[in-house]
Amino acid sequence: MSMGNHVGNAAIEASVVPSTLRKWAWSSDFLENLNLESYGHQGWRHRKDTLAGMSMKHAKPNFSQSQVSEMVKKLFNLTPSEIRSLPSYDDQNFYVAPVEGGEYVLKIMNSEDSKNSTLIEVQTHAMSFLHQNGLPAQTAVPTTTGQLMSLEEINCGYGCQKYLVRLLTYLPGTTISKVPLTPQLLYETGKTAARMDTILQKMEHPHLSVLQREEFKWSLSYVPILETYLSVLDGDPLQEVVKSVIHQYKTSVVPKYSIFRKCINHGDFNDLNVLVQPDESDGYRISGILDFGDMSSGYYIHDLAITIMYMMNEHPCPLEVGGPILAGWESILPLSEAEKDCLYVLVLCRFCQSLVFARYSVTLQPENAEYLMISSKKGIHVLHHLWKLGKEHVERVWFQSAAQVSDMK
């Protein structure tokens, strides 16, 4: 196997891990031990609730390698020389290396998500649009009839069902969670996130309205939805912190939405969705952006808050993360005063979303409870730390650090 393949194997991304848990509860070491290698997943956390009550064997595809080989030949006119099954929770993913050259990831979506083809179409278009505008995103390979995805009706052993199939380009790299988060890399992360949002805002598509995802629980536009899940924290002192954060959101963020700048959010720019490769200066450069399953209409400040939160969760000194990311972001998209004033609360909101929904997942997947609680301790600690420091202190550290980083550029 080439070095590109080897490095790509470390790109353990969301298609292999239930992302309600992945949002912070599965440690990098745990994922590495699983030897996972697939990426490009489309939003496990929203189908978790819809699929939890049904038999997964009736939704998850179960294609044999011979069926995959035939399908790749039929749809893409490629002859696989190597096919490897890649782990996935409720889809099916395969690494495909055809004799014609190149490397790909074949994604076969479960039959439930396959019914929402318009949303998947817009997500796929966004990936291509970013790629066309110079950002490293996967792209879908057209079928022989020119389609970027195909709805295949096949009997996998329990009757004929329809599955959306896409062949995506393979991006080499390792997840940013595996490398030192230097100030320079954090700066580039913030800059890339801002570039991504400004590009997505220019995107045109006849079905962009599907991104108006009302009551989408992972959107920072709908933080109060957390209140319906708070019982999972009964008896935990953290419940009061979460309640207080929700109250701050309602009183200090919601009134400012009318003056926030709108955009299309990626919605999940986290440490497992950003790939990096070594650069010529012994550092790392961003080589891939993954997982567009949480895309929705939102606000620029949302993606900045999400980016800061997840990078904090990986850093040995979490408070040091915000400044360099801010500096990178503002090199592309300077914040308004209203956006600056709400950043701290929105970062806390994302911590709360991740914590509460991870805890909720335990009620659906009790067999993961022990590991889930152990591995989420750091996120809980960071949330507590930020809360105790308070808005004024944290903002002063972030914005002074951002100014220092910018002055050095």
Contact criterion met (CB below 8 Å) for 298 and 265? yes
Tens-place pLDDT, residues 243-291: 999 999 999 999 999 999 999 999 999 998 999 999 998 899 999 998 8
Of 251 and 52, the one with more pLDDT: 251
Sign of CA dihedral 151, 152, 155, 160: positive
Contact criterion met (CB below 8 Å) for 353 and 226? yes
Of 31 and 381, the one with more pLDDT: 381
Of 200 and 51, the one with more pLDDT: 200
How far is the C-alpha of 22 from the C-alpha of 318, rounded, in Å? Answer: 19
Radius of gyration for the alpha carbons in the chain, expressed in angstroms and rounded: 21
SS3 content of the chain, % helix, strand, coil (to 5): 55, 15, 30
Instruction: Compute the half-sphere exposure of residue 81: CA atoms within 13 Å on the CB side of its CA.
Output: 8
Would you call 113 a catalytic residue per the annotation?
no
- 112 burial (CB, 10 Å; 0-12 / 13-18 / 19+) is middle
Per-residue pLDDT at 50 exceeds 60:
no
Sign of CA dihedral 108, 24, 127, 201: positive
Question: What value does the mean pLDDT take over residues 386-391?
Answer: 97
Tens-place pLDDT, residues 74-127: 999 999 999 999 766 678 989 999 999 999 999 999 898 899 899 999 999 999
Q: Please tell me the predicted confidence (pLDDT) of residue 2.
A: 31
Q: Please tell me the predicted confidence (pLDDT) of residue 288.
A: 95
Tens-place pLDDT, residues 303-319: 999 999 999 988 999 99
How far is the C-alpha of 24 from the C-alpha of 22, rounded, in Å? Answer: 5
Of 35 and 181, the one with more pLDDT: 181
Q: Could you tell me the pTM of the whole model? A: 0.84
**Active-site option among 197, 268, 271, 294:** 268
For residue 115, give the H/E element and its range. none
Contact criterion met (CB below 8 Å) for 128 and 96? no
Per-residue pLDDT at 40 exceeds 60:
no
Q: Please tell me the predicted confidence (pLDDT) of residue 166.
A: 96
